Structure 1
Amino acid sequence: MTSTIGITGVTGHIGGAVSRALEEKGVAHRLLGRNPQRFDERVAASAGLLDSAPLDFADPEQTAESMTGLDTVFLVSAAETAEREAQQLAMVEALTKAGVKRVVYTSFASPSPKATFTFARTHYATEQAIERAGLEHTFLRDNFYLDVLPLFAGEDRVLRGPAGDGHVSAVARADVADAAVAVLLDPQTHSRGAYTLTGPESLTMTEVAEILTRVTGQTYRYEAETIDAAHESRAVLDPEPWEMEAWVSTYTAIASGELAEVTDDVRELTGHAPLSLEDVLRRH
Structure 2
Amino acid sequence: MLTVIAVTGATGRLGGRVAKRLAAAGLPQRLLVRDPARAPQLKGTTVSPAAFTDREAVCAALDGVDIVLMVSASEAPDRVDQHRAFVDAAAAAGVAHLVYVSFFHAARDATFTLARDHWATEQHVRASGM
TM-score over 0.5 (shorter chain)? yes
3-state SS of 2:129 partner: coil
1:90 aligns with 2:89: no
SS of the equivalent of 1:53 reads strand
Q: Distance in 1 between matches of 2:95 and 2:37?
A: 24
User: For residues 74-113 of structure 1, what are the structure 2 equivalents within 5 Å?
Assistant: 74-113=69-108
Q: Within 2, Cα distance between the matches of 1:57 and 1:133?
A: 16
Give the secondary structure class of the aligned counterpart of 1:68. coil
Residue 24 (structure 1) aligned with residue 24 (structure 2): yes
Check whether the contact 1:34–1:55 (CA below 8 A) recurs between aligned residues. yes
For 2:25 and 2:38, locate their aligned partners in 1 and report how far apart those are by CA, in whole Å.
Answer: 22
Quote how far apart the aligned CAs of 1:69 are: 0.7
CA contact (8 A) 1:3 1:30 kept: no
Q: Which structure's residues are more often helix, by fraction?
A: 1
- What displacement does 1:36 show? 2.2
Check if 1:42 corresponds to 2:48. no
Alignment of 1:201-212 (within 5 A): none
Shift of 1:61: 2.5
Compute the displacement of 1:2 (Å).
6.5
Give me the identity figure in percent. 40
Name the amino acid aligned to 2:106.
P
- Structure 2 vs 1, CA of residues 3 and 42 (structure 1 numbering), >3 Å: closer, same or farther? farther
Describe how 1:154-173 pairs up with structure 2 within 5 A.
none
- Does 2:124 match 1:129? yes
Partner of 1:33: 33
Q: How does 1:145-156 map to 2 (within 5 A)?
A: none
Instruction: Tell me how far apart the structure 1 counterparts of residues 8 and 77 of structure 2 sit (CA, whole Å).
Output: 20
Aligned partner of 1:14 in structure 2 is 14
1:64 equivalent in alignment to 2:62: no
Name the amino acid aligned to 1:11. T
Residues 109-152 of structure 1: CA deviation (Å, up to 9, x unaligned)? 111110111111111111111111111xxxxxxxxxxxxxxxxx
Instruction: Classify 1:53/1:3 alpha carbon distance in 2 versus 1 (closer, same or farther; 3 Å).
Output: farther
Q: Report SS of the residue matched to 2:102.
A: strand
SS in 2 for 1:108: coil
Secondary structure class of the residue paired with 1:65: helix
Aligned pairs for 1:266-281 (under 5 A) are none
Task: Give the superposition deviation at 1:63.
Answer: 1.1
Match of 1:209 in 2: none
What does the per-residue CA deviation read over 1:65-106, in whole Å, with 9 as the maximum and x for residues that have no partner?
111110000000001000101110111101101100101111
Q: TM-score, normalised by structure 1?
A: 0.44
* Deviation beyond 4 Å, 4+ runs, structure 1: none
After TM superposition, give the deviation of residue 28 of structure 1 in Å: 1.2
Unaligned runs of 5+ in 2: none
Which has the larger Rg? 1
Relative CO higher for 1 or 2, CA cutoff 8 Å, sep ≥ 6?
A: 2
Distance, in Å, in 2 between the alignment partners of 1:122 and 1:38 is 26
- The AA in structure 1 aligned to 2:16 is G
Work out whether residues 3 and 50 of structure 1, in 8 Å CA contact, stay in contact via their aligned partners in 2. no
SS in 1 for 2:69: strand
Equivalenced residues, count: 130
> 1:109, 1:60 → 2: CA distance?
28
Shift of 1:27: 1.2
